[in-house]
Amino acid sequence: MSVTIFVLLLASIGIRAWRDLSHPEGWSYFQDRSSSSLSFMVLDHIQFDGATRRVLAVSGPIRSAAASWLRQKLDEARLESGDVLLLSSPGGNLDQSLIMGEEIRRRGLASAVGVMDGHGHIAPSDCASACVFIYSGGTKRYGIAGSRLGVHRFVSTGPDDDPVAETQRTTGQILGYVSRMGIEATMVEAMSKTRAIRWLDDREALAMNLITTPLTPRREGSSD
């Protein structure tokens, strides 16, 4: 009897797993959990805004398991309030990016756009599309000279979606999010004007309150 119950339990688990993975979203999540599209590096002694900070540098596309991955890496890196999430990404999954932005806000982390160069310094990079919403979660949003923030209109890709209803839902979701993060609605207006990436200049990003603190960080002790 115990063997029969055990077999039935395994079968039940297998059926549920098959059902989950039979959906494209479930399979995508499983793949991303198995091998994340994102990479990371933990950096110490980086100067931001006159203080030495710990930094988690994250790069790569944002896929279905990105939020879970980020929570794990933040826990492992033991970043504290005021430390920095350094981003470089072409974008990806909108829903995941909103969860990630909420998470870094909950932890009191700042955000910046850049990558590590071969000399151990932070170099400019790009943060586009969904990446901008992760960046938006920073309690301070540092603007590194030469880095770029790119926005565009989001469109529904689901074959069964009502395009009008989906657009309204997504727009409302984004407006609510940027409002909570203290960003002007003009950012959403800029997004709505093009399906191609629109790179914001520093003046625009500052006016939107997307960038809150322009600076050029350096490693502590550097003469740069």
Return the CATH number at 132. Answer: 3.90.226.10
The pLDDT tens digits of the residues spanning 208-217 come to: 999 999 985 4
pLDDT over 90, % of the chain: 60
Sign of torsion over alpha carbons 198, 120, 62, 168 = negative
Residues 11 and 96 in one domain: no
pLDDT confidence of residue 75: 95
Quote the CA–CA distance of 154 and 196 in Å, as a whole number.
10
Residues 105 and 166 in one domain: yes
Residues 94 and 55 in one domain: yes
The pLDDT tens digits of the residues spanning 3-17 come to: 554 444 444 544 444
Residues 12 and 86 in one domain: no
Residues 17 and 77 in one domain: no
Provide the domain count of the chain: 2
Provide the residue range defining the domain that includes 148. Answer: 38-219
* pLDDT higher than threshold 70 for residue 27: no
Q: Is residue 188 part of a domain?
A: yes
Identify which has the larger pLDDT, 84 or 11. Answer: 84
Identify which has the larger pLDDT, 67 or 165. Answer: 67
The pLDDT tens digits of the residues spanning 173-222 come to: 999 999 999 999 999 999 988 889 999 999 999 999 999 999 854 444 34
Q: Which of 22-36, 79-93, 101-115, 130-144 has the lowest mean pLDDT?
A: 22-36
Residues 52 and 133 in one domain: yes
Q: Residue 136, exposed/middle/buried by CB under 10 A (0-12, 13-18, 19+)?
A: buried
Residues 72 and 145 in one domain: yes
Quote the CA–CA distance of 188 and 133 in Å, as a whole number.
11
Q: Is residue 193 part of a domain?
A: yes
Q: Measured in Å, how far apart are the chain's first and last C-alpha atoms?
A: 73
**CA dist 211 → 88, 102, 135, 174, 177 (Å):** 15, 17, 9, 17, 16
Residues 18 and 66 in one domain: no
Q: Is residue 160 part of a domain?
A: yes
Q: Is residue 167 part of a domain?
A: yes
The one-character DSSP state at 201 is P
Q: Is residue 63 part of a domain?
A: yes
pLDDT confidence of residue 116: 84
Contact 85, 115 (CB under 8 A): no
Q: CA torsion angle for 42, 48, 50, 53 (degrees, to 10)?
A: -20
Residues 64 and 127 in one domain: yes
Mean pLDDT (the chain, rounded):
83
Q: Is residue 61 part of a domain?
A: yes
Q: Is residue 83 part of a domain?
A: yes
Residues 139 and 59 in one domain: yes
Q: What is the mean pLDDT of residues 68-89?
A: 96
Residues 157 and 130 in one domain: yes
Residues 19 and 78 in one domain: no
pLDDT over 70, % of the chain: 77
pLDDT confidence of residue 32: 46
Q: Is residue 224 part of a domain?
A: no
